[in-house]
Amino acid sequence: MDTVYIRGLKARTVVGIFEWERRLPQDVVLDIEMATDIRPAASSDAIEDALDYKTVAKAVVEHVESSRFQLVEALADSICRLITVDFGVSEVSLVLNKKGALSDAADVGVCIRRRAEDYAAATEVAE
């Protein structure tokens, strides 16, 4: 499987459990790796056959900026769900950095990997 990636994608959102974290949006920086087969796009040289990283990035930023999670874990999982469900990506690896969360650290965050079937199973249970 091939990988399409986006590194250093910036967005602002309200995320945190403390009152001071919820007053104003904070910066988060995302590194996203998406497993996809690029052979159709490579053969056709047509964007219609590609995973359009510009469209993915726009959707992710809109999602992040409209969200209000308490935990970075929940935010990260919601991003992976968006990418797998809305863009048909089979697997996503995501690093979510929350800048300035600790005064003695450059950033904190989570690294997660999700497969499309992780969300398909959850959808089936909910129905």
| The two three-digit tokens of residue 84, written as one number | 């797998």
> What does the pLDDT read at residue 20?
87
The pLDDT of 99-117, averaged and rounded, is 90
Structural domain total, the chain: 1
Between CA 46 and CA 42 the distance in angstroms is 8
123 — phi, psi (to 5°)?
A: -65, -40
Domain holding 92, by residue range, is 2-126
CATH at 67: 3.30.1130.10
* Percent of all residues in the chain with a pLDDT value above 70, rounded to a whole number: 94
Per-residue pLDDT for 122 more than 80?
Answer: no
